[in-house]
């Protein structure tokens, strides 16, 4: 029986050429799997037909936008996931979803190998291969670009030789990856980290410096999940899409950063994530209102570790699963509304309300109606500072005894 390879297929030059290259080099049949996570661009049916025209024996197209939003973006939102305190894990979140469908296709179509088009410099090779190893340790992995010297020049030559139905002449100066959670741009002139981004690299956001009227929006959450925009019920996907449009029109969510890749190098990345940044900003503020102090303090540590695990390709790891349970519990009371003004590249919180709020006006006010018993504070301060005071007296004694 002929062996089958399941290929993560984008429809571009490299993965289209990989179909014929894998078949030629290994003798295996190729099943192409294209997963729609809201990347836009070409019609997925056109991509499917291209995969078949390039020699795939089967071509699977999956509309996974809702799945991506609910099962991957929402957990990231609950974790306020920002790698290095800035990057909302745009690409990192989509990879385990794609892995899930690659493994599913391998089971359904008799695949014994999974192939991807990642290079040896990036994080995605880790995310794909570690994820596949966690879900299906019996599957072998092919990485032709990384392991076989499969360069772009060779890909173009192969496509021309085989007469493949793809455009081999146009080449963007940038490497772009995008989905509904955001858009990542790298390479080209951006590799010189002194060069400022130019306006034509952006697609999800408008120039924040251009004059325009502010946009006020109210986001409703239930247990950390966005469920309404300006009072209109929405799904998680719709919430992201609506805020991508509205926050993007105000230039919200642009990031230009040098980040630490898992493989040990630093990389300059430009991101656009208007919906993600707006939602995370709103969610963090609602947590400030509804989450108890010690739980909130510890959760900030958990959030950071969660983001690092996902960035590092460990979505299916035991630690990530355990942290998920904690984060879910911590979001139990994150229910309420956040009002924001979107303007000039910023999403600014201007109001919050929640039946689960821990904010007590009568305890917080300095005006009449103050219910805080200030007479208790003197003893509290003395006891709170007692360990430091005792230690200071000891240190003074030893310094005196030593003649210092």
Phi, psi (5° rounding) for residue 321? -65, -40
- Confirm if 260 and 87 have CB atoms less than 8 A apart: no
- Bridge-based pairing of strands 254-260 and 232-233 is unpaired
Going along 127-248, which residue ranges are E strands? 140-142, 175-179, 182-186, 215-222, 225-229, 232-233
Note the pLDDT of residue 403. 67
Q: 183 pairs with which residues across the strands?
A: 178, 272
Note the pLDDT of residue 172. 66
Q: In angstroms, how far is CA 268 from the centroid of its own chain?
A: 17
Q: Which residues are annotated as a binding site for L-aspartate?
A: 119, 123-124
Q: If DSSP codes are grouped into helix, strand and coil, which group holds residue 109?
A: helix
Phi, psi (5° rounding) for residue 183? -140, 135
CA 5, CA 8: separation in Å to the nearest integer? 10
Percent of the chain whose pLDDT exceeds 70 = 97
Q: Which residues contact 277 (CB under 8 A, 6 or more apart)?
A: 88, 247, 252, 253, 347
Q: Exactly one of 175, 215, 317, 324 is catalytic; which is it?
A: 175
pLDDT surpassing 70 at residue 214: yes
Q: Which residues are annotated as a binding site for L-citrulline?
A: 87, 123, 127, 175, 259, 271
pTM beyond 0.85, yes or no: yes
DSSP state of 343: E
Handedness of CA 67, 73, 78, 83 (dihedral sign): positive
Q: If DSSP codes are grouped into helix, strand and coil, which group holds residue 117?
A: coil
- How large is the angle between the packed helices 152-162 and 13-26, nearest 10 degrees? 70
Q: What is the average pLDDT across 139-156?
A: 82
Residue 268 a catalytic site member: no
| Residue 333: pLDDT band with limits 50, 70, 90 | very high
Note the pLDDT of residue 171. 63
CA 23, CA 100: separation in Å to the nearest integer? 23
When the pLDDT of each residue in the chain is averaged and rounded to a whole number, the result is 93
Q: Exactly one of 4, 14, 254, 267 is catalytic; which is it?
A: 14
CA 373, CA 363: separation in Å to the nearest integer? 9
Q: Exactly one of 36, 100, 124, 254 is catalytic; which is it?
A: 124
Note the pLDDT of residue 245. 98
pLDDT, tens only, 72-128 = 999 999 999 999 999 999 999 999 999 999 999 999 999 999 999 888 888 999 999
- Tokens read off for 95: 């990879």
| Residue 275: pLDDT band with limits 50, 70, 90 | very high
Q: Sketch out the chain's domains with CATH numbers.
A: 4-171 (3.40.50.620), 176-291+333-353 (3.90.1260.10), 371-401 (1.20.5)
- Bridge-based pairing of strands 182-186 and 266-272 is antiparallel
pLDDT, tens only, 222-259 = 999 999 999 999 999 999 999 999 999 999 999 999 99
Q: If DSSP codes are grouped into helix, strand and coil, which group holds residue 212?
A: coil
pLDDT surpassing 90 at residue 302: yes
Q: What is the average pLDDT across 13-27?
A: 88
pLDDT surpassing 90 at residue 71: yes
Percent of the chain whose pLDDT exceeds 90 = 78
pLDDT surpassing 90 at residue 163: no
Note the pLDDT of residue 13. 82
Residue 95 a catalytic site member: yes
CA gyration radius, the chain? 26
Q: Exactly one of 4, 50, 95, 268 is catalytic; which is it?
A: 95
pLDDT, tens only, 215-225 = 999 999 999 99
CA 215, CA 229: separation in Å to the nearest integer? 13
Q: In angstroms, how far is CA 117 from the centroid of its own chain?
A: 20
| Least confidently predicted of 92-96, 185-189, 208-212, 213-217 | 185-189
| Least confidently predicted of 115-129, 131-145, 147-161, 162-176 | 162-176
Q: Which residues are annotated as a binding site?
A: 8-16, 87, 117, 119, 123-124, 127, 175, 259, 271
Residue 124 a catalytic site member: yes
- Confirm if 253 and 277 have CB atoms less than 8 A apart: yes
Q: For the range 105-111, what are the long-range contacts, defined as Cβ-Cβ under 8 Å and sequence gap of 24 or more? A: 105/6, 105/31, 105/33, 105/60, 106/4, 106/6, 106/31, 106/136, 106/139, 107/136, 109/4, 109/6, 109/31, 109/58, 109/60, 110/1, 110/4, 111/4, 111/5, 111/6, 111/31, 111/139
Q: Which residues are annotated as a binding site for ATP?
A: 8-16, 117
């Amino acid at each position: 029986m002929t062996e089958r390879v399941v290929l993560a297929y984008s429809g571009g030059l490299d993965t289209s050429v990989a179909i014929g290259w894998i078949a030629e080099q290994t003798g295996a049949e190729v099943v192409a799997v294209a997963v729609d996570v809201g990347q836009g661009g070409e019609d997925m049916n056109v991509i499917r037909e291209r995969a078949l025209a390039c020699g795939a024996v089967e071509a699977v197209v999956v509309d996974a936008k809702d799945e991506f939003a609910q099962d991957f973006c929402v957990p990231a939102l609950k974790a306020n996931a920002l790698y290095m305190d800035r990057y909302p894990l745009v690409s990192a979140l989509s990879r385990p979803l794609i892995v899930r469908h690659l493994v599913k296709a391998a089971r359904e179509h008799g695949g014994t190998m999974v192939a991807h088009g990642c290079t040896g410099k990036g994080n995605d090779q880790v995310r794909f291969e570690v994820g596949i190893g966690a879900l299906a340790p019996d599957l072998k992995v092919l990485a032709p670009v990384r392991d076989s010297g499969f360069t772009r020049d060779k890909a173009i030559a192969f496509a021309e030789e085989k007469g493949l139905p793809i455009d081999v002449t146009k080449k963007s100066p940038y490497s772009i990856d995008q989905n509904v959670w955001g858009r990542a741009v790298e390479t080209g002139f951006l590799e010189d980290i002194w060069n400022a981004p130019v306006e034509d690299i952006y697609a999800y956001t408008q120039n924040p410096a251009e004059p325009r009227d502010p946009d006020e929006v109210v986001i409703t959450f239930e247990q950390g999940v966005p469920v309404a925009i300006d009072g209109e019920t929405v799904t998680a996907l719709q919430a992201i899409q609506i805020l991508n449009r509205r926050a993007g029109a105000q230039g919200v969510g642009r990031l230009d950063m040098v980040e630490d890749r898992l493989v040990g190098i630093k990389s300059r990345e430009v991101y656009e994530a208007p919906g993600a940044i707006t939602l995370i900003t709103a969610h963090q503020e609602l947590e400030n209102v509804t989450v108890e102090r010690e739980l909130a303090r510890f959760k900030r540590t958990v959030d950071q570790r969660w983001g690092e695990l996902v960035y590092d390709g460990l979505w299916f790891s035991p630690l990530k699963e355990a942290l998920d349970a904690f984060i879910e519990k911590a979001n139990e009371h994150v229910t309420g509304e956040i009002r924001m003004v979107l303007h000039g590249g910023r999403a600014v919180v201007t109001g919050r309300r929640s039946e689960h709020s821990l904010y007590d006006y009568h305890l917080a006010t300095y005006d009449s109606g103050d219910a805080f018993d200030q007479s208790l504070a003197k003893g509290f301060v003395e006891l709170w500072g007692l360990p430091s005071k005792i230690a200071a007296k000891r240190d003074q004694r030893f310094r005196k005894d030593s003649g210092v």
